Amino acid sequence: MFDCEVNVAKSCTELTQILIEPSARILAGGTDILPGMRKNSIGKPITLIDVSQLNELSYIREHEGQIDIGALTTHSKLITSPLLLQHAPALIDACASIGSTQTRNRGTLGGNLCNASPAADSVPPLLCLEAVVTLSSHDNQRQVPLSDFIIGPGRTCLKQGEYLDHITFAVPQKHTGTSFMKLGRRNGMSIAVVSTSVLLRLDQQGNIEYARVAFGSAAPTPICSHHAEAALTGKTPSAQLFSEAAQAMRTDINPIDDLRASREYRLHSAGVLLQRALQTAWHQAEMDLR
């Protein structure tokens, strides 16, 4: 039996009032916090705040060249969004790889970010999109780059009384391609052994004008590979270049040995996935260039 009290927040104002309690934890989809409670990995007693009725935090919209996603938007809604299909297909692929259909129907983007798992599938594509999270409390609102939001396994920079309100990123420019790839121990409902996401923007000559490369399950937090990005920028796309980027990224990632894979296996797999993801993103960007 769970040793907890459950409150239902009817508004964001009510949410911030309950969040003042030190033991308060938000219950969104429940796909992470409830298993954690069963495993006794979450301190007790706690006060759960059911936010399922806060429809104002569930949306996907474009405004003045930016896309905003409410924190309570489910993975299923993200997967079926025409707006994301047009501008952020890698994020759709990442969300489609999360759990089962039931998990995607309940799980939320905000919950995936706040759980702060090194293997969080949605984070690498959002890092490539240079996403910013908006954190709200009863008397303040602040914006934090996603790259600074997750500070360790299971840890974020959320302060007492704050909640994640929404995620924002700029609509990618023309001639841009994106990709997300994930390696698991089985085809479905699998935690990533390693994952990678790529964003490439080409100039009019077909050279790489801008590159973003990110990994999951390759460090204590999802991480960008700035050495791989530097190896790609200003160069002509080719299999040889992508192989060089795969070597460069080894400077940035720091995978571990665990029950799912060894460090060396993750290092090798990350390089293979990166080269495949770069090929996919390049071909997307080429199609847009035409």
Q: How do the domains of the chain map onto residue ranges?
A: 4-50, 55-170, 176-289
97-111, 153-167, 183-197: which has the highest mean pLDDT? 153-167
| Cα separation values, 70 from 20, 53, 62, 165, Å | 22, 13, 12, 6
Contact 99, 111 (CB under 8 A): no
Average pLDDT of the residues in 118-132: 97
Average pLDDT of the residues in 159-181: 96
Average pLDDT of the residues in 10-26: 88
Q: Do domains 4-50 and 55-170 have the same CATH topology?
A: no
pTM exceeding 0.75? yes
Sequence-distant (6+) residues with CB within 8 A of 101 are 76
Contact 191, 121 (CB under 8 A): no
* Interior angle at CA 233, CA 212 and CA 278, nearest 5: 55
176-206 pLDDT, tens digit each: 999 999 998 755 556 889 999 999 999 999 9
Q: Which CATH class, in words, describes the domain spanning 4-50? A: alpha beta
**Is 176-289 CATH 3.30.390.50?**
yes
H helix runs in 74-205, sequence order: 75-79, 82-87, 89-96, 101-106, 109-114, 123-128, 146-149
Average pLDDT of the residues in 263-285: 96
d(CA 137, CA 168): 18
H helix runs in 226-262, sequence order: 226-232, 239-248
Average pLDDT of the residues in 90-111: 92
Question: How many CA atoms lie within 13 Å of 214's alpha carbon, on the beta-carbon side?
Answer: 29
Under CATH, what is the fold of the domain 55-170?
3.30.465
Average pLDDT of the residues in 133-147: 95
What is the pairing mode between strands 4-8 and 46-50?
A: parallel
